[in-house]
A = this chain, B = another copy of it.
Amino acid sequence: MPTSPIEYADASPAVRAVFDDIKATRNVPDVNNFWKYLARDPALLTRTWQSVKEVMQPGALDALTKEMIYVAVSVTNGCDYCIASHTAGARKAGMTDAMFGELLAVVGMANETNRLANGYRVPVDAAFEQ
C-alpha cells in the first residue's frame, strides 16, 4: 500500500501551519504533491520545509541560480519528480529557454568528464591542493 497524500482539508493544525507558510512564502494557492506526501510524517515535513526555506532564500546566490543548481543535481540523479518541479521553479524565477539549454549542456558535459576522469584515474594536480 503506497503512501497517499494529505490534502489541506484533512490536515492536522501542525501540518496546516507548514502548508500555510509554504503558500505564503511562495505565493501559491496550494502546495505541490511533495509536501502532501511528506505530511504523512509531520516532523519530517516541518524539518524539511524549514531547511528548504532557509537554503533556498536569496543570499550570496540568487534564487534563480539556486533553482538551476537544484535542477542540475536532480537531472544527474534522474529524479523525475524533482526535475519537473525545480525546472518549473527555475522558470518561475526567470530561466529562459536559452538558459535551460545551457544548463543541461553543462550538466551533460560534467557527467561525461566526471567519468573520463574516473576512467583514466587522473590524480589531482598539486596546484588544486594548495
Contact in complex: A101, B69 (CB < 8 Å): no
Cβ of A98 within 8 Å of any chain B Cβ, yes or no, is yes
Main secondary structure of the interface of A (DSSP, over half): helix
Residues of B within 8 A of A108 (CB): 48, 112-113, 115-116, 119
Given A55-B105, A120-B104, answer yes or no on A82-B114 (Cβ-Cβ < 8 Å).
yes
Q: For chain A, which range describes its interface: under 10, 10 to 19, 20 to 34, or 35 or more residues?
A: 35 or more
Give CA–CA (A106, B113) in the complex, Å. Answer: 12
- From the candidates B3, B48, B125, name the one contacting A85 in the complex (CB within 8 A): B125
Contact in complex: A70, B110 (CB < 8 Å): yes
Give CA–CA (A104, B93) in the complex, Å. Answer: 20
- Listed in ascending order, the chain A residues whose CB lies under 8 Å from chain B are 1-3, 32-34, 37-38, 40-41, 43-44, 47-48, 51-52, 54-56, 59-61, 65-66, 68-88, 91, 96-125, 127-130
